[in-house]
Homo-oligomer: A and B are copies of this chain.
């Protein structure tokens, strides 16, 4: 129950996943510390606790529990990948999760985030469809990261004073892109430190959903030779 709160997830370096699909993925990756279940198929694992339906109803976060909940160790940090997605003040769990799924699909295996929703919250976890287990997630100060890593070509995203995505060349150099808050975008101080800030050519609407915009840019800037 305490792992439902961000502060305990951060203190213990653990998080909770629910449902067979996510739990199976976590088992495969060897990050499961304990399982609470009322399903026979999971009850015989060495770290499993068989619990009653009443207990399951108390510890679940979903309306129709799928009978299995796992406590997982957060994956160990890995070296920085050649493609990095940076998230500044991202607040919507669905957007964060969808972006993680796209990031893995397009080779952006390192995610840096600041002042954002916790990616290990249950709503983000569900939206990632398991992608989160295979990503390198680092909470950090984005401005300091940019200053410390001149080897990356860093692109911001903005609606004003920006260049069209179509003018940005695909390349094999180290690339990072920055997406911002759903309402206010990327912090101005960060936008001043980038090589360029990108917009996507659109008609008739003010902006795209941030997960859509980020995915279109990551698709464009994916590695030439995966």
A interface, CB within 8 angstroms of B: 94, 98, 101-102, 104-107, 127, 129, 131, 134, 200-206, 208-209, 211-212, 215-216, 219, 222, 226
Contact = CB atoms under 8 A, between A and B. Distances in A.
Given A107-B203, A226-B203, A102 B219 contact: no
Contact of A105 (B105, B204, B226): B204
Given A215-B212, A216-B215, A219-B200, A205 B129 contact: yes
Nearest to A222: B201
Contact of A216 (B107, B129, B219, B226): B219
A101 B208 contact: yes
B211 A106 contact: no
Tell me the number of copies of this protein: 2
Contacts of A209: 98, 101-102, 127, 211, 215
Contacts of A134: 204
22 contacts: A94-B94, A98-B212, A101-B205, A101-B208, A102-B209, A104-B203, A105-B204, A105-B208, A106-B202, A107-B203, A107-B204, A127-B209, A129-B206, A131-B204, A134-B204, A203-B226, A209-B211, A211-B212, A212-B212, A215-B215, A215-B216, A216-B219
A126 to B, nearest CB: 12
Contacts of A216: 215-216, 219
Given A94-B94, A98-B209, A212-B98, A105 B202 contact: yes
A101 B207 CA distance: 9
B205 A131 contact: yes
Residue of A203, A211, A226 contacting most chain B CB atoms (<10 Å): A203
A108 to B, nearest CB: 10
Contacts of A129: 205-206
A205 B226 CA distance: 13
B204 A104 contact: yes
